Amino acid sequence: MNSLQHESSPYLLQHAKNPVYWKPWNKEVLKQAQETEKLMVISIGYAACHWCHVMEHESFEDMGVAEIMNDHFISIKVDREERPEVDQLYMNAVQLMTGRGGWPLNVVTLPDGRPVWGGTYFRKEEWKSALLQLQKLYEQQPETLHEYATKLEKGIQDFDLIERNENEMALQKFDLQSIVEQWKRNFDLEWGGLRGAPKFMMPSSLEFWLHYGIHTSDALLESHALRTLIKMAQGGLYDAIGGGFARYSVDERWHIPHFEKMLYDNAQLISLYSKAYAHSKNPLFKTVVKETISFLERELKDNIGAFYSSLDADSENENGRMEEGAYYSFTEQELKKILEDDFSLFKEYFNINSFGKWEEDKFVLIRKVADSEFCENHSISEEDLEAKVKTWKTKLFSFRNKRKRPRLDDKSLTSWNGLALIGLVDAYKIFQEPSYLNLALKNANFILRYQVKKDGSLFHSYKNGKSTIPGFLEDYAMAISAFISLHEATLDKKWLKLSQQLTDYCIEHFLDTKTTMFYFTTEEEKTPVARTMEYRDNVIPASNSIMAHNLFHLSHYFENETYHTLAKQMLLNVLPEIEAYPTGFSNWLQLLLKFRQPFYEVVLMGNDAENKRRDLQKEYIPNTLFTGSETDDSLPLTRNRFVSDKTYVYVCKNNSCNLPQTEVSEVLKMLKKEKK
């Protein structure tokens, strides 16, 4: 029978009434497959996945499909967000078999979990035919499948194989500029980002472009990063009514989104838009940060400070049918009725015309120009336009709230909450809005109270008062990074010491001493076929690249040479792969900048340390860490630096410190003076 009704994952619960006898991923089910010698169907997706819902409706709710699956297979449903290690394993397999991947991800495996066939979305008849053929082959020629599984197993084991790079000179000799020039050749200079569609936002790539462009005075790189952020915020990808970004755009203009909203995207973009505002002072960026944080607080936060995972792309339309984008799109008739006399100006501002049309009679709001240009073209002051836009948003938000809301995935993941915490802290640093810090502290205390175990390890998932699933490397990496950032914003050393404790746990339980890279799971967590390493950056930076940044920072905070050596070796290991696909290593390239450019330690000591911290952190100063104390302190960077009744700012780099300063302006001159 279908046994998903006992699960907590919203994605699994969505399939609990399917006639397929779904089972969750666990040791008992895997043991059952081997005992019965049945092939397994492993189907992987997530709650906000539109095509997962389509395949469920077409195939998994169909009695004919269910009969085939129930008679011949053990069928396992997996929430990829809950079990990322399973998703990684079988995604690698499908990419090797087909050259592409995505969700839903569907594989057929031998009873021991080794894959023999797979793909993404299948139409019903394709799915039925494939299953029947595989079952027939398994019955008549099982050796054929076993032979293929063995070959594929070797490919999977080699997929994330990385060798230790002993060439230490590679860090300085690596031709970073040629990588940047390669990237530039694929820039979409009109709409931002890279050419082609669909378009994903790739925050770590954008941050690298901004950082490197400013540092090298590369006007094209800097302006392209900022242009991309502007076009994303003006496009339908951004929810102009309720704040927050959808997962990606199906077109090159950032206009029509795949409408699901993910915590991890919005968390990273809060951070990125905050930094971009600190550099450019573009008011659009400040608005995006404010509205996106409001979206998180309103729609993705629970009462203990945790953030939920996502909102679905689909919601019920006026006829009660699930439809992608139904909650977010408008007809012209609806807009006229809501906005009345203001519709004509609204129509020009948000392009209720052929440019903004989506499908049938529906529109997704998109802008073409900055407010200043729009005001000039339409003879309206910026103050009057701002007031009108605020009124329009209020009216449309009220109208939209009467619709059926998209489904909520209300599990909370430690990793994604870590990203949210980083975003909130970065926003607080730059805008100095106390409510942002309050949200950050509540979130940090949620992780500390519910997700950190007594033995110093982490849980991965939380829902309904229960923490479950042992933490993966992504959970540790993102939590450590978040706590380091929180220390910088508060100067509370509790968060820094917690970061060190979690790092030491990772070194003990995740590190492969042969390659000096980290496995995604601990040595205790067994998965079929292979123990994976995640080191290629994607829409979320790889857990190994985040860990390398953490080790680099902590090596400075604690004067720990072991951390520094490990971070350096990890970076060396990935350098040979970067040239072929720089977008897959953008967070590693940011680490390379920390090794090759001046990296500053800013230490604030004295009773006015907090005020000086605020003034300094409003600026965009990459390649800098902050610490300090208002009282005497014994951490390596603060030891013997407290002077009673004085507040000094120490700026150090390469184990050498300048004379202590008392004026923020002088400190900023030191931090900003060096460019390539």
Q: 183 and 290 in one domain?
A: yes
Which has the closest alpha carbon to 237: 256, 224, 251? Answer: 256
Q: What is the CATH number of the domain that holds 565?
A: 1.50.10.10
Of the two residues 94 and 159, the one the predictor is more confident about is: 94
Report pLDDT digits (tens) over 197-239.
Answer: 999 999 999 999 999 999 999 999 999 999 999 999 999 999 9
| Residue 539 belongs to a domain | yes
Q: 213 and 297 in one domain?
A: yes
State residue 676's pLDDT score.
46
Q: 520 and 664 in one domain?
A: no
Q: Give residue 390's domain range.
A: 328-402
Residue 209 CB-half CA count within 13 A: 29
State residue 530's pLDDT score.
79
State residue 116's pLDDT score.
95
CA dihedral (647, 652, 656, 658) positive or negative: negative
7 vs 24: CA distance, rounded Å: 8
State residue 129's pLDDT score.
96
Task: Tell me the two tokens of residue 317.
Answer: 């339309």
Report pLDDT digits (tens) over 389-429.
Answer: 999 999 999 999 999 999 999 999 999 999 999 999 999 99
Q: What is the CATH number of the domain that holds 24?
A: 3.40.30.10
Least confident residue range of 525-539, 559-573, 625-639: 525-539
DSSP class of residue 340? G
Provide the number of structural domains found in the chain.
4
Q: 497 and 467 in one domain?
A: yes
Residue 531: pLDDT over 50: yes
* CA distances from residue 192 to 79, 202, 205, 250, 254 in whole angstroms, order as listed: 33, 12, 12, 14, 9
Q: 452 and 391 in one domain?
A: no
Q: Are 267 and 419 in contact (CB under 8 A)?
A: yes
Residue 168: pLDDT over 90: no
Q: Which of 569, 596, 623 is the last residue of a domain?
A: 596
Q: 293 and 436 in one domain?
A: yes
Which has the closest alpha carbon to 538: 584, 500, 476? Answer: 584
Mean pLDDT of 310-318: 92
pLDDT bucket at 550, cuts 50 / 70 / 90 = very high
pTM, two decimals, is: 0.95
Q: 641 and 564 in one domain?
A: no
Q: Are 305 and 340 in contact (CB under 8 A)?
A: no
Q: 626 and 585 in one domain?
A: no
Q: 534 and 640 in one domain?
A: no
Q: 589 and 611 in one domain?
A: no
Alpha carbon 656 to its chain's center: 36
Phi-psi region of 305 (alpha: psi -120 to 50; beta: other; left: phi over 0): left
| Residue 165 belongs to a domain | no
pLDDT bucket at 674, cuts 50 / 70 / 90 = low
Report pLDDT digits (tens) over 640-658.
Answer: 999 998 999 999 997 788 8
Q: Which of 402, 419, 450 is the last residue of a domain?
A: 402
State residue 11's pLDDT score.
95
Mean pLDDT of 26-38: 92
Least confident residue range of 55-59, 121-125, 314-318, 326-330: 314-318
Residue 675: pLDDT over 70: no
State residue 158's pLDDT score.
82
Alpha carbon 193 to its chain's center: 17
Q: Tokens 């989104």 sit at which residue?
A: 257
Report pLDDT digits (tens) over 282-301.
Answer: 999 999 999 999 999 999 99
Q: Which of 352, 379, 402 is the last residue of a domain?
A: 402
Strands (E), 194-281: 199-200, 248-249, 257-258, 261-262
Mean pLDDT of 244-253: 96
Report pLDDT digits (tens) over 493-506.
Answer: 999 999 999 999 99
State residue 542's pLDDT score.
97
Which has the closest alpha carbon to 619: 602, 635, 632? Answer: 602
Mean pLDDT of 502-514: 96
Q: 245 and 135 in one domain?
A: no
Phi, psi of 126 (to 5 degrees): -60, -45
